[in-house]
Amino acid sequence: MFSGLYPIRTAVSEDDGATWSELEPIGDFGGIVAMGSMERLADGRYLAFFHDDGRFIGPEGEAGQFYAYGSESADGGLTWSAPRMLVTDPDLDLCEPGVVRSPDGTQLAMLIRENSRTRNSFLSLSDDEGAAWSTHEELPLALTGDRHTLRYLPDGRLIVVFRDMAEGSESKGDWLAWVGTYAEMVGREPAGFRIRIMDNQNSWDSTYPGVEVIPNGDVVTTTYGHWVEGQPPYIVSVRLTWKEMQDWIRRFG
């Protein structure tokens, strides 16, 4: 379990979450939305992803350019390396990387929020276990949003849960999911279909989603939002059953 801002801290459980260690710094660095995504590499190491805009990467920073960083662990998450810059652009605010491995295991795909709101979200790819990343390419409106969390469904399709921020979308600011194939996503095709999970009653404040596909294929996703107009935000967990997902795939996929 990770905690930001500066320094990033972690707590560890060795009994399946029954008890946890105290939060301890993982290094002399911090970040915004610390460790929003993590993938295991082919050699067994873990690569965790986060971003910062200069304010928290060091003890006395100032806001400036956005960077997506990676930090590695070779001991199952007990210790972490110093951050390594992965993706940036001086003309964009690229942040909140969400990463998934390709079905054949050979590629990592990173979906990235664009925080200046002048462009869609972006995609960057790595074919060498995260050592280098391709030039980021703009995604279609269907995948434009914040805090992308990606999981595979039982049939091999992806479900990507995020806050919709597509310009002109009727569900802008809402808790959303996109369902489609990995090939459609990395091909940046306007394919697949979208599900509005819940209607956020605030123009933007919602959706740092946890997403789990449980053994029977159901998707359980959990996040906060303003679900009742005029009331403070609260946390909701929604289950999308595999049966209803299959019905939607037959109709729209």
- The pLDDT tens digits of the residues spanning 202-244 come to 999 999 999 999 999 999 999 999 999 999 999 999 999 999 9
Q: Tell how strand 2-3 and strand 67-73 pair up.
A: unpaired
**Tens-digit pLDDT profile for residues 179-190:** 999 999 999 987
pLDDT at residue 189 in the model: 84
First vs last Cα of the chain: how many Å apart?
Answer: 35
Last residue of a domain, one of 34, 65, 98: 98
In a domain, 64, yes or no: yes
In a domain, 106, yes or no: no
Report residue 185: phi and psi, to 5°: -65, -50
Task: Supply the mean pLDDT for the chain.
Answer: 96
% of the chain beyond a pLDDT of 70 = 100
Query: From CA 111, how far away is CA 148, in angstroms rounded?
Result: 7
What is the mean predicted confidence (pLDDT) over 49-76?
95
In a domain, 104, yes or no: no
What is the mean predicted confidence (pLDDT) over 85-95?
97
Range of the domain at 49: 1-98
pLDDT at residue 227 in the model: 98
- CB proximity list for 136: less than 8 A, separation 6 or greater: 87, 89, 94, 112, 122, 123, 124
Beta carbons within 10 angstroms of residue 249's beta carbon: 17
pLDDT at residue 167 in the model: 95
Same domain, 252 and 173: yes
Residue whose token pair is 């905690």: 3
pTM of the model: 0.96
Domain count, the chain: 2
Same domain, 174 and 251: yes
In a domain, 127, yes or no: no
Last residue of a domain, one of 67, 98, 129: 98
In a domain, 18, yes or no: yes
Same domain, 170 and 226: yes
**Tens-digit pLDDT profile for residues 11-54:** 999 999 999 999 999 999 999 989 989 999 999 999 999 999 99
In a domain, 111, yes or no: no
In a domain, 121, yes or no: no
Same domain, 156 and 225: yes
What's the pLDDT band for 96 if we cut at 50, 70, 90?
A: very high
pLDDT at residue 249 in the model: 95
What is the mean predicted confidence (pLDDT) over 66-92?
97
Same domain, 90 and 155: no
% of the chain beyond a pLDDT of 90 = 95
Query: Is 218 exposed, middle or buried (CB count within 10 Å of its CB: 0-12, 13-18, 19+)?
Result: middle
Same domain, 252 and 151: yes
Same domain, 93 and 153: no
Same domain, 148 and 253: yes
pLDDT at residue 253 in the model: 82
In a domain, 92, yes or no: yes
Same domain, 163 and 246: yes
pLDDT at residue 199 in the model: 98
What is the mean predicted confidence (pLDDT) over 57-75?
95
Same domain, 16 and 92: yes
pLDDT at residue 21 in the model: 97
Query: Is 58 exposed, middle or buried (CB count within 10 Å of its CB: 0-12, 13-18, 19+)?
Result: middle
pLDDT at residue 82 in the model: 97
**Tens-digit pLDDT profile for residues 154-180:** 999 999 999 999 999 999 999 999 999
Same domain, 149 and 231: yes
Same domain, 152 and 86: no
